[in-house]
Structures are given as structure tokens and as C-alpha cells.
């Protein structure tokens, strides 16, 4: 039975960003699963979070923030490669897991039991998981998803891997990546890891948007409100996930990273940490205000967006003063 790490869902301990009193319990499926996978492999995923600075308004949505493969390679000596699917997916998974290579696979949450109450058995939603263990004979797979480590088996396993054939002939294979260690490099640790993370901070500061994205989003929301106010709660959840949750959760993740850097001895991070923490908390409040406005068909006060923009400016100005 191919297995990379000898862990069990019942005893697995999640990373700190998926425990305790968090403002945003989850970020997005890809980032959450990479955090847990790196954590389980013995690495500190917070060192990777410089990319959270890149967030921008991408016309009709905010950046779906994901760890860049180059940053993963720099810190952990892990190369991210796309897997070409030329035979049944389950065979690829068996072979790569047996070689110690975790696979990141887009699967259908309809068959992922850890999404019970949200998508499991209710909605066909693609989501990224990282496979750690697979047993085709027992029809069982161990996988990282969202906040932790889980198991799927039986008929759900068959459906995920289409063991009994394609549901229809227009189904495309999923997008799959695998991670493999670089043969001539080693993961960074201790002060070297902190130093490299600061280097990524400087690099990602050069990717900041030229215009405050929260100012632009304030105007965007104003134009979206007419449609939102006649929409249902499914519309709210879709809109909120693509906008408020992306920048709210991303900001909180950035706060955790800055706190980790501070604990590692990096100076001058108190001001941006506080500003981004306030931004994240205010965004959570805005999410509730938008939901209430939609339910009651009442106007949404756009004034709080001014505060978001000011906090973003304060955080980025402070980081640029000391590291830009």
C-alpha cells in the first residue's frame, strides 16, 4: 500500500494557522492544503507566505492567492511539476506516492467526506487535495484537504477515480501536480530560513499593485450592489468567496507570517502587522454586513472600505520603508 507519511486522520495535529481562534478558519483550498502538506513533511509553511503581499483586484474578483512554485523551491528544495495523465489516474497516484512524491489533485468535493455539510453529497465543486496514501485494493485514500488530514473510501473512492468508467465521454482529466525533492539542494532551516523569507518579502514588494486595490474595489462594489440585492444567499457566498474572503483570509495569513518573522528576530514589523490584522477583522465584519444587507434588501454602507484602504496603505508603506 503506497504511503508517504505514517499519519492517521484521528491523530493528525494541524498547523497552528488551522487551529485556535482564527478570524478566517480557511483561506482557499490550494493554499490550505500546501500549508498542511509542508507542515506534515516537517517544514515551516509560514516562511512561504511572502506571496500574500501580491494580492490585487483582478477585475471581477480578487487574486486567488497560491504559493508560487519558485518560492517553494527556494525554501524547501521541492520542485513542483505538472503530471501528464496518460493512463488511469489511480495508477499514476499509486506510482508517484510509492516514490514518495505527494500529488496535488483537483477532485470533486461531492465525494470528499471532509466537506460534509458544505459540498459532500450536495454540490459538484472542484477542490485541491494532496494525496499521501492510497490503497486501491481496499478502495481507500488518505489526503490533505482544507484544514487537515482525512480519509476517503468505498464508493466515494470509486467515484473520485472513476473506477467504473467515465460518467460521460466529455469528462476531462483533472489538473495534477507532484512535488519532488531537488537532487542537489536541501531545505532551509533556522536563521537561513528566516533570511530567505525576508528575501522573498523584498521580492514580492516589487509586485505590489500601483493603485490601492481597496479603493478600486470600493467602486466595484458600488456597481455590483444592484445585482447583489436581488440575488439569493448562494450569490452572496459565491461573491464573498471571490472577493471578501480572498483578501480577508490572505491578510490574516500575512499577519501570521509577519509574526513568525518577528519571532525569528526580524525588526520593524509591528506597524504592518497591526494594520493588516485590523484589515482582516474589518473585512470579516463587512462580510456579515453584506449578508444582512442582501437578506433585508437594504443598502450597504460603503464607508468601511475607506478604512480598509487606509490600513492597506499604512501596512505597505511601512514594509516599503524598511524592506523596499
- Written as one string, the DSSP assignment of 235-253 is HHHHHHHHTHHHHHHHHHH
What's CA 64's distance to the chain center, in Å?
8
Is the pLDDT higher at 210 or at 303? 210
Does some domain include residue 65? no
Give pLDDT, residue 258.
98
Query: Is residue 4 assigned to a domain?
Result: no
Which of 181, 216, 243 is at the close of a domain?
A: 181
CA-based nearest residue to 224, from 285, 293, 279: 293
**One domain, residues 200 and 165:** no
Q: What's residue 227's pLDDT?
A: 87
Domain that holds residue 247: 190-323
Q: What percent of the chain has pLDDT over 70?
A: 99
Consecutive H or E run containing 142: strand 140-145
Choosing from 130, 163, 181, the residue where a domain stops is 181
174 and 258 part of one domain: no
How high is the pLDDT of residue 34?
97
* pLDDT greater than 80 at residue 170: no
pLDDT at 83 over 80: yes
Helices (H) and strands (E) in the chain, counts: 10, 6
pLDDT at 311: 97
DSSP secondary structure letter of residue 161:
T
Distances (CA, A) of 310 to 20, 213, 244, 272, 315: 28, 11, 16, 12, 9
Per-residue b or e along 133-162, where b marks 16 or more CB atoms closer than 10 Å to that residue's CB: bbebeebbbbbbbbbbbbbbeeebbebbbe
CB 119 within 8 A of CB 192: no
Do 175 and 27 fall into the same domain? yes
User: What is the distance between the alpha carbons of residues 310 and 19, in angstroms, rounded to a whole number?
Assistant: 29
Percent of the chain with pLDDT over 90: 80
Same domain, yes or no: 257 and 292: yes
Q: Residue range 26-49: average pLDDT?
A: 95
Asked which of 190-194, 232-236, 262-266, 269-273 is least confident by mean pLDDT, the reply is 232-236
Q: Which has the closest alpha carbon to 41: 4, 81, 73, 94? A: 4
Same domain, 203 and 307: yes
Q: CB–CB of 206/54 below 8 Å?
A: no
Whether 244 and 87 have beta carbons less than 8 Å apart is answered as no
Residue 73 included in any domain: no
C-alpha torsion sign, points 179, 180, 182, 185: positive
The SS3 assignment for 65 reads: coil
At which of 133, 156, 181 does a domain end?
181
pLDDT recorded at residue 164 = 82
Dist CA 250 CA 242 (whole Å): 12
Where does the pLDDT of residue 230 fall: very low under 50, low under 70, confident under 90, or very high at 90 and above? confident
Report the distance separating Cα 270 and Cα 258, nearest Å.
8
Position 57 scores a pLDDT of 96
Strands (E), 146-238: 148-153, 176-181
- Confidence check: pLDDT of 169 > 90: no
Q: Is 49 within a domain?
A: no
In order of 7, 90, 110, 162, the CA distances from 159 in angstroms are 24, 11, 9, 5
Length of the chain in residues, anyone?
324
- Classify the C-alpha dihedral 109-115-120-122 as positive or negative: negative
Q: What is the pLDDT of residues 241-295, one digit of tens each?
A: 999 999 999 999 999 999 999 999 999 999 999 999 999 999 999 989 888 888 8
Amino acid at each position: 500500500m503506497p504511503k508517504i507519511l505514517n499519519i492517521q486522520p484521528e491523530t493528525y495535529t494541524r498547523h497552528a494557522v488551522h487551529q485556535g481562534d482564527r478570524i478566517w478558519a480557511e483561506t482557499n483550498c490550494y493554499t490550505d492544503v500546501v500549508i498542511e502538506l509542508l507542515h506534515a513533511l516537517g517544514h515551516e509553511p509560514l516562511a512561504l507566505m511572502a506571496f500574500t503581499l501580491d494580492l490585487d483586484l483582478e477585475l471581477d474578483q480578487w487574486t486567488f492567492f497560491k504559493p508560487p512554485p519558485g518560492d517553494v523551491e527556494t525554501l524547501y528544495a521541492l520542485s513542483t511539476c505538472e503530471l501528464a495523465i496518460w493512463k488511469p489516474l489511480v495508477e499514476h497516484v499509486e506510482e508517484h506516492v510509492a516514490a514518495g512524491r505527494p500529488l496535488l489533485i483537483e477532485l470533486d468535493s461531492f465525494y470528499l467526506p471532509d466537506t460534509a455539510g458544505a459540498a459532500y453529497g450536495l454540490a459538484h465543486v472542484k477542490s485541491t487535495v494532496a494525496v499521501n496514501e492510497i490503497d486501491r485494493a481496499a478502495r481507500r485514500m488518505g489526503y490533505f484537504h482544507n484544514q487537515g488530514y482525512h480519509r476517503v473510501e468505498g464508493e466515494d473512492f470509486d467515484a473520485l477515480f472513476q473506477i467504473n468508467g467515465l460518467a460521460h465521454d466529455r469528462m476531462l482529466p483533472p489538473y495534477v501536480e507532484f512535488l519532488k525533492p531537488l537532487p542537489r539542494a536541501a531545505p532551509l532551516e533556522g536563521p537561513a530560513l528566516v533570511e530567505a523569507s525576508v528575501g522573498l518579502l523584498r521580492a514580492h514588494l516589487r509586485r505590489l499593485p500601483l493603485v490601492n486595490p481597496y479603493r478600486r474595489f470600493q467602486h466595484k462594489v458600488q456597481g455590483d450592489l444592484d445585482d447583489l440585492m436581488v440575488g439569493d444567499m448562494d450569490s452572496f457566498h459565491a461573491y464573498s468567496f471571490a472577493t471578501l474572503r480572498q483578501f480577508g483570509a490572505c491578510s490574516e495569513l500575512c499577519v501570521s507570517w509577519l509574526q513568525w518573522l518577528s519571532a525569528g528576530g526580524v525588526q520593524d514589523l509591528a506597524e504592518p502587522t497591526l494594520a493588516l490584522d485590523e484589515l482582516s477583522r474589518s473585512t470579516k465584519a463587512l462580510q456579515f454586513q453584506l449578508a444582512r444587507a442582501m437578506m433585508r434588501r437594504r443598502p450597504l454602507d460603503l464607508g468601511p472600505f475607506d478604512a480598509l484602504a487606509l490600513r492597506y496603505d499604512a501596512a505597505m508603506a511601512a514594509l516599503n520603508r524598511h524592506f523596499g
